[in-house]
Structure 1
């Protein structure tokens, strides 16, 4: 694993700042524009990020007290909260995004060092140490800062975060169905293999492009003969 607790703390701060700076001053028109995620406006996306902060606070509370506190009561409730959030006025949605991020940061700062090793369960059902909470949040804010579709690309995210994201997504994809692909980051020398189906396709490009491809975001990677890189199934 090429990420530390301090890395994820830093990436969370960076991604949060990118998000908050991007939406600063937005009115209804900007918020109702399409995001980079199919079927979602920027309001949907911001509501999702704000709800995620509140949900991760539940995991921090779980780690702090030992009392089981799931991120969400159910997937249906999670989706309903995002839909309801997408109908909030712009100013109210902006306030929720900022206050939820501030509350999460305050909870994280107060968590006793020994409690970071406590086990919690993610929304996907994985049992992980509480230190993973910060990785989940950094992934959320950094990737979705790009998904706001304001012009920020994966190339504008920290290189260390991109490498950690590629490691994380490649490991998940290696255990799932999909095409066999060998990925190389030309600018860093990193390499990832997706064992998948069929003969492996070799794909090379900059780290930012590889991370975007693995995460299912827009990219311009091609295989060795110039054809578009194979389509991958959904990541999450």
Structure 2
């Protein structure tokens, strides 16, 4: 008999799953506000229409479901067979009819949610591999989905902003992004400060850093490469403008 609720009893994981599902619902709302004709419109991602964003989010759910299947069975099931296959899948999805594209999003989201729901407690710790090659516990899929749906809801360019993203998600995003910079060494000489938060992000050892400052939503928007509205820059790399953030993913 299948479960009617999540099998996991871990309160932290339950909260992560709730945030992912809330983000999915938010993305669905912004998508459903668009007419079929508006799916052809542009987004905040250069070169991508709304069709590409919806296809990407739909296929991302399918890919994460494969990781949960991996955790459940122990049989390796990669997210994608290759980066090229992933890109081809998105390009194909963008050509689907509006109803097929909407069904892709709806059905893939339900499929992923059910895979999460039915995963036994012990299997959440089983290691899987992300599309970027990182080895993580299956529980990380909840966060991977959370950041996808919340950020791409904004990318649809249909009125959503980073101010709509819950504060805990924004805080984790900033930690995630600046951590990726630190791992690659691309944050050298760059310091990020959030209004009201005394803990800086980035290269805190720099003698004369370029300092990015602003409210949390604006700082995360900048860090995620979505623009510089609401942030200010000071220091040697500023030159009276806000520099582009280092690459995140």
TM-score, reference length from structure 2? 0.88
The one of 205, 225, 228 equivalent to 1:219 is 228
Alpha-carbon spacing, 1:85–1:198, altered in 2? closer, same or farther (3 Å): farther
1:204 is aligned, of 213, 216, 232, to 213
Deviates more, 1:63-72 or 1:202-211: 202-211
Structure 1, 200-209 or 109-118: larger mean CA deviation: 200-209
Q: CA RMSD in A?
A: 2.0
Could you tell me which residue of structure 1 aligns to residue 108 of structure 2? 100
Q: 1:125 to 1:101 in 2, by over 3 A?
A: same
Shift in Å, 1:10: 2.1
Structure 2 matches for 1:41-52, cutoff 5 A?
Answer: 41-52=49-60
Aligned partners of 1:40 and 1:12: how far apart in 2? Answer: 23
Question: Structure 1, unaligned stretches of length 5 or more?
Answer: none
Q: Which has the larger radius of gyration?
A: 2
Tell me the alpha carbon deviations over residues 28-49 of structure 1, each in whole angstroms, 9 at most, x when there is no partner: 3210000110000000010000
* Contact residue 11 and residue 142 of structure 1 kept, 8 A: no
- Give the alignment's TM-score, normalised by structure 1: 0.93
Structure 2 residue ranges without an equivalent (≥5): 1-10
Q: How many Å apart are 1:83 and its aligned residue?
A: 0.4
Query: Which deviates more from structure 2 when the two are superposed, residues 74-83 or residues 17-26?
Result: 17-26
Q: Measure how far apart 1:195 and its partner are.
A: 6.7
The 3 A distance-change label for structure 1 pair 41 and 59 is same
Report how many residues are paired.
Answer: 234
Aligned to 2:161: 153
Q: Structure 2: how far apart are the matches of 1:8 and 1:189?
A: 26
Candidates 177, 187, 200, aligned match of 1:191: 200
